[in-house]
Amino acid sequence: MSKIVLITGASSGFGQSCAQLYAKQGFKLILLSRRLDKLQQIANDLLLGSGDAFSAADVICCEVDVTDAQAIDRFVDGLPEAFSAVDILINNAGLALGTAPAHKANLSDWETMVDTNIKGLIRMTHKLLPGMVARNRGHIVNIGSIAGNWPYPGGNTYCATKAFVHQFSLALRADLLGKAIRVSHIDPGMAETNFSRIRMKGDNDAADAFYHDVKPLSADDVADIIVWTTSVPEHININSLEVMPVCQAWSPFAIDRTMENKQIIND
Ligand code: NDP
Ligand code: 8X3
């Protein structure tokens, strides 16, 4: 019997590429995002491009905003029986908004990131995990970020939401010891998707400049890693994977030598 994979944020980037890869491998897909038309277009393209391995009966598209707790409840409770026993949950929906330092940031941006990246992810998990436990079968893959491991200026709340994803994933694993349920989190670095355009709020030149003259990860690169993580033999749990393009690495700590803090220096 085909396995069922539910992907949040399947209308773009990593989620869309995961949908394409899982379809090719004969999985049944539940695709979620706020844009139903985009999901339906992706599903139609999959039907045209995946050959006999995949048919219209193998995919459902659902307009769900993961910041809306009731919408999640309605959607999971209303899943058709053929799709209700989800085997793999890819908690991918997420975003960064803005790059301003904390004292200049917009509070509603912070709240949207917390509502999506943290609360959306825990709601989906809370809703689907009991079924996985009852069936003693399942895999949850949470998409974090290098931003959750390494702070950077302007990352403030985005970094913190992804640090949550990291620790929540590890703690879930601890709770699930003794069950045949896997939990993994993947922490990608710089990857070229719509992510930066959304972060820069329509300043597409700034978003595109971020990827200029380098070879970042692609959505397909990250999807390959996600799908591989769920395809290793069932006694193996990939706990945590951090992935960067070769063009990216760490820097030394920043040191302020402007002497603007004379008060501290003179104390
Ligand atoms: P994209 O912007 O290309 O895709 C984001 C996806 O999330 C879209 O499908 C969007 O769908 C969905 N989404 C956003 N908000 C909601 C919501 N409230 N409810 C439901 N779906 C939502 O970005 P990526 O593919 O790059 O991002 C995917 C994940 O990877 C995110 O969690 C991001 O933080 C993380 N990440 C990205 C990196 C990068 O450099 N690109 C690096 C590390 C991590 P829609 O708008 O249709 O709702
Ligand atoms: C996205 C990666 O480094 O732009 O999560 O924050 S980064």
pLDDT at residue 266, as a whole number: 62
Ligand 1 pocket (Cβ < 6 Å) reads 8-15, 33-35, 38, 65-67, 92-95, 116, 120, 143, 145, 188, 190-191, 193-195, 198, 219
Q: Which one-letter amino acid corresponds to residue 105?
A: A
Other Cβ atoms less than 10 A from the Cβ of 196: the count is 21
For residue 188, the ligand 1 atom closest to its alpha carbon is 43
Contact (CB, 8 A) for 197 and 204? yes
- Confidence grade of residue 261 (pLDDT, cut at 50, 70, 90): low
pLDDT (mean) for 141-147 = 98
User: Is the domain defined by 4-266 classed in CATH 3.90.950.20?
Assistant: no
pLDDT (mean) for 136-162 = 98
Give residue limits of the domains in the chain. 4-266
**151: helix, strand or coil:** coil
190 Cβ inside 6 Å of ligand 2: yes
Which pair of tokens denotes residue 225? Answer: 């890693």
Instruction: Tell me the CA–centroid distance for residue 55 and ligand 1, in Å.
Output: 26
Instruction: State the ligand closest to the CA atom of 67.
Output: 1
Instruction: Give the predicted TM-score (pTM) of the model.
Output: 0.97
pLDDT (mean) for 39-44 = 97
pLDDT (mean) for 167-174 = 98
Q: Name the residues annotated as catalytic.
A: 158
Q: Which of 195, 200, 221, 240 to mutate to test the pocket of ligand 1 (most atoms within 8 A of CB)?
A: 195
* Helices assigned H by DSSP within the chain: 13-24, 36-49, 69-77, 107-113, 121-135, 156-175, 195-199, 204-210, 219-229, 262-266
Instruction: Tell me the CA–centroid distance for residue 188 and ligand 2, in Å.
Output: 8
pLDDT at residue 1, as a whole number: 79
Per residue in 221-259, pLDDT tens? 999 999 999 999 999 999 999 999 999 999 999 999 886
Instruction: State the ligand closest to the CA atom of 243.
Output: 1
pLDDT (mean) for 81-96 = 98
- Confidence grade of residue 188 (pLDDT, cut at 50, 70, 90): very high
Q: Which of 32, 33, 97 to mutate to test the pocket of ligand 1 (most atoms within 8 A of CB)?
A: 33
